[in-house]
Amino acid sequence: MRVLRRNLTAYGFLCAALACFAVFAWYPMIREFVLSFQKTTLVNPPSWVGLDNFLTVVQNPAFGKAWLNTVEFTALALLCGYAVPFVMALVLNELRHARAYLRFVVYLPVMLPPIVAVLLFRWFFDPGPGLFNQLLDFFHLPALAWLDSSSTALISLVIVATWMNMGSATLIYLAALQNIPSELYEAAELDGAGIFKRIRHVTIPQTRLILLLMLMLQVVATMQVFIEPYMLTGGGPEDATMTVAFQMYQFAFTLQDYGAGGALGMMLMIVLLAFAAVQLRLTREDKA
């Protein structure tokens, strides 16, 4: 009787959360699966269409390009968004002055609403009076077309994404670096390890878990990039910035083809889950 009562109270406390999760987190996952096999217009009741949605998605001319771009974007963003914050954190950790100021400044862009960063950089990228071309001009370097050229559009998006997101990664690394016991460095120094050897044999092994975790978070975050192509390029020029997430949005909300959007979403989900599984495995082996 007491057990029953305790369970009833507990589920009384839980029921609101259960309802929210059920309707707005668990059900959408199932719904995505169902959506991808249905024709959904939100006006007429949905009908089953088998694999039609997947065919629509695969036959779209920009399909391959979108995946290629997503991989390229992720690789570029890893280069900038993963390596740069780690180096930044390493340097910040060595400095003995201006620490509070530097932490504040690095995190400042993270606090801005993404739309602010994106619209600000849209102006910087302006080929005419935009800040970047004016700076290039000041140093007598040739102007770039930035968002208007298919060769520089993707890297321009990476620049914005890095600028507005790198603060959080930097501070997380910084906290991890501060947890490394100083005896390890002292021991390494006694053994004659120079600065780079100390980084390689002490710093990196000690922060390995957080590095792996951040790698996963970074990849998952970049794969979902949306606001940058939505506001800055609309996927162009010549599909140069068409990413999977943005194409998904276009299918669903520009073409009103929720089924095709759902099918593409399923594909993205499978890829990301496979990636997470591999990652988890790597981390496990690491612990053992």
- Residue closer to other proteins by CB (options 151, 286) is 286
- The three-state (H, E, C) secondary structure of the chain, written as one string: CHHHHHHHHHHHHHHHHHHHHHHHHHHHHHHHHHHCCEECCCCCCCEECCCHHHHHHHHCCCHHHHHHHHHHHHHHHHHHHHHHHHHHHHHHHHCCCCHHHHHHHHHHHHHCCHHHHHHHHHHHCCCCCCHHHHHHHHCCCCCCCHHHCCCCHHHHHHHHHHHHHHHHHHHHHHHHHHCCCHHHHHHHHHCCCCHHHHHHHHHHHHCHHHHHHHHHHHHHHHHCCCHHHHHHHCCCCCCCCCCHHHHHHHHHHHCCCHHHHHHHHHHHHHHHHHHHHHHHHHHHHHHC
Q: At what angle do helices 258-287 and 52-59 cross, to 10 degrees?
A: 80
Nearer to other proteins, 5 or 59 (CB): 5
Is 286 a binding residue for other proteins by CB under 8 A? The answer is: no
Tell me: does residue 124 bind other proteins (CB under 8 A): yes
25 touches other proteins by CB under 8 A: yes
- Least distance in Å: CB of 121 to other proteins? 8
Span 232-261, contacts to other proteins by CB under 8 A? 245, 248-249, 252-253, 258, 261
Binding residues for other proteins restricted to 125-164, rule: CB under 8 A = 128-129, 131, 134, 137-138, 163
Q: Rule CB under 8 A: is residue 49 a binding residue for other proteins?
A: no
> Which one of the spans 56-64, 72-80, 92-100, 147-155 is the region binding other proteins (CB under 8 A)?
92-100
Please list every residue from 180 through 239 that binds other proteins, using CB under 8 A.
182, 185-186, 189, 195, 198-199, 202-203, 210, 213-214, 220-221, 223-224, 226-227, 230-231
**CB of residue 234 vs other proteins: minimum separation in angstroms?**
11
Check binding of 101 to other proteins (CB under 8 A).
yes
Rounded (10°) angle between helices 27-35 and 258-287: 130
Q: Does 51 bind other proteins (CB under 8 A)?
A: no
Residues 258-277 that bind other proteins (CB under 8 A): 258, 261-262, 265, 268-269, 272-273, 276
Rounded to a whole number of angstroms, the minimum distance from the CB of residue 285 to other proteins is 19
> In the bound complex, what is the minimum distance in angstroms from residue 244's beta carbon to other proteins?
9
Shortest approach of other proteins to residue 98 CB, angstroms? 5
